Amino acid sequence: MKCIFPPLIEPMRFALFADIHGNLEAFRAVLGTLQNGRIDRHICVGDIVGYGANPGECIKLVKDLDCLAVAGNHDWAAVDLASIDYFNPYAKEAVLWTRSQLSQEDRDFLKGLELVREPHGFTIVHATLKAPEEWNYIFSASDAHENFQLLSNCLLFVGHSHVPIIFEENGGYRYHFGRKVNLKEGQKYIINIGSVGQPRDGDPRASFFIYDTESRQVELRRVEYNVDEAMRKIVEANLPPVLAWRLREGE
């Protein structure tokens, strides 16, 4: 059955971001660009913390925005709701450091995040709809197919891989890497919105998406930020230096 976009009661513009990873400089740069345009709701698709040196400050910004948010694997790992056994040594060290930096209020907030939510006629999950607590990735058409089968509406926004890409189900599958995509009636889309705080697609600029329900268009946006400052904070916090170096390369 083809999906149907919900009736347009009131036009809305959403700013969607994910994988902030404690990178305050990148997150502030994203929010700074959003001040120049109308945004009706901010959506956070997980991993507010992990890797970066300002987890508490990033949590506060998310809360101040009254963001609708879901949990990422680093969010839950930071409050012992997800195992870190499968994390690489650098990620594991960052999670343990992050745990030591969080206030009780921060921990309570992260513990309260759900895995899947369906706001405003679309779905958000950090990793996958299939077993979201297992933190798998959507890389291929096969991965996308499993999730399209579970998707009850037209749009699924995800993060986790740190690589922006759009999968379209239209009888087969189409990949979109362009900046703007017009969403077609009857088609389903899985939209990976990339990463604010640790891009891994070779572009070090912070990544986020705008979804406009009136034009029925999604738009990838990138913004430069003070990478050197984010790197300096990571090194001074005695976090693994590789977490700083990768910011400059976007990998």
Tell me if 112 is assigned to some domain. yes
CATH number of the domain bearing residue 30: 3.60.21.10
State the Cα angle at 146 between 113 and 132, rounded to 5°: 20
Tell me if 117 is assigned to some domain. yes
Tell me if 7 is assigned to some domain. no
* Total structural domains within the chain: 1
How many angstroms separate the first and last alpha carbons of the chain? 39
Q: What is the pLDDT of residue 64?
A: 97
Say if residue 187 is exposed, middle or buried (CB neighbours under 10 Å; 0-12, 13-18, 19+).
Answer: middle
Tell me if 3 is assigned to some domain. no
Tell me if 191 is assigned to some domain. yes
Tell me if 137 is assigned to some domain. yes
Residue in 249, 251, 247 with CA at minimum distance from that of residue 29 = 247
Tell me if 8 is assigned to some domain. no
Asked if 143 contacts 169 with a C-beta cutoff of 8 angstroms, the reply is: no
Instruction: Find tokens 């986790």 and name the residue.
Output: 160
Asked if 127 contacts 135 with a C-beta cutoff of 8 angstroms, the reply is: yes
Spell out, as residue ranges, where the chain has pLDDT lower than 50: none
Tell me if 150 is assigned to some domain. yes
Say if residue 178 is exposed, middle or buried (CB neighbours under 10 Å; 0-12, 13-18, 19+).
Answer: exposed
Q: What is the pLDDT of residue 113?
A: 98
Asked if 198 contacts 247 with a C-beta cutoff of 8 angstroms, the reply is: yes
Write the DSSP assignment of 32-79 as a string of letters: HHHTTS--SEEEE-S--SSSSS-HHHHHHHHHHTT-EEB--HHHHHTT
Q: What is the pLDDT of residue 1?
A: 59
Q: What is the pLDDT of residue 170?
A: 78
- What pTM, to 2 d.p., does this model score? 0.95
Domain that holds residue 154: 13-249
Write the DSSP assignment of 112-155 as a string of letters: T-BSEE--TT-EEESS-SSSGGG-----SHHHHHHHHHH--SSE
